[in-house]
Homo-oligomer: A and B are copies of this chain.
Amino acid sequence: MDFTNILRVDCRDEPGLIYKITGVLYHHGLNIVRNDEFVDRAHQHFFFRAEVAPQRAEPPQAEKVVAGLWGLLPHGANIQFTDRQPKRLVILATKEHHCLSDLLLRHEFGELNAQVLAVVSNHATLGPLVAKFGLPFHYLPHEGLERAAHEAQLLACLEPYQPDYVVLAKYMRVLSPELMARFPHRMVNIHHSFLPAFVGANPYRQAFERGVKIIGATAHFVNEHLDEGPIIGQDVVRVDHSKTATEMAQAGRDVEKIVLAKALKLVCEDRIFVIGNKTVIFE
């Protein structure tokens, strides 16, 4: 961790952008520890991320850097110059522990650049697990409630935490487009299949019925369409005819938890840009 700030820029592509941006950094005495850039040809859009460190002891003057860039970059550019504050997370789960517990452990041992503020669930099952880690657990049962009423409770529960990101760690309730729209590109889901195969419920049963030889998991940002948001990461594991649907689900869980944790790490390190329904990731 030999850098102090991250500069993120995305804008319409045009000649000379890297020259201009690195010039501003250079003139403010900021060393580029690492930078990445990418031009999406289809959208003629430019993406840039740099980890920077001041050459001298004094902290960088964020406002001046951004102002210096502002005048040079195309109209409509997005510019972020941030320090490395841990992201604020709230995790939603249902009954399955594997993704939640993996995140809680990484959090406990400081392996995510994040602060887990609370866990919310529509079941009481995972309360004792969360208690082990000394975190607030909110049990919001959905039985007997209209979806809108349940989601209103959920929003009321989330609101005081002011999370940067909401993590759906095997949260098995379908969310309304309205709720999802409240967290644009700020809600991360783990889908228990290799999207776009097996969209929807019970993908391991679907995979079993189809007789596939590989199953997978997909971490993605949530958008207003179920399972169709920008994909962050995917991984797979081999299966064969001898595996039941239950055994496929067991094998899938190990993939799910690693894929979600890796995706969340990328999110919390500000490595992801979203364009349309796709991601640009500087790993």
A residues with CB within 8 A of B: 2, 15-16, 18-19, 22-23, 25-26, 31-35, 37-41, 55, 97-98, 101-102, 105, 108-109, 111, 129, 132-133, 194-198, 209-214, 216, 230-236, 238, 240-242, 244, 250, 254, 258, 261-262, 277-281, 283
* Distance A283 CA – B250 CA, assembled complex (angstroms): 14
Q: Are B196 and A210 in contact (CB under 8 A)?
A: yes
| Contact partners of A279 in chain B: CB under 8 A | 211, 241
Task: Point out the residue from B15, B196, B281 that lies within 8 Å of A55, measured CB to CB.
Answer: B15
Q: Are A15 and B31 in contact (CB under 8 A)?
A: yes
Known: A195-B212, A211-B231. 14 other contacts (CB 8 A): A16-B22, A19-B25, A40-B241, A97-B105, A108-B129, A194-B197, A196-B197, A211-B277, A213-B232, A214-B235, A238-B238, A241-B278, A241-B280, A254-B261
Most chain B Cβ neighbours within 10 Å, of A22, A31, A197, A241: A241
Minimal Cβ-Cβ distance residue in B for A238:
B238
Q: Are A281 and B241 in contact (CB under 8 A)?
A: yes
| Contact partners of A109 in chain B: CB under 8 A | 97-98
| Contact partners of A211 in chain B: CB under 8 A | 230-231, 277-279
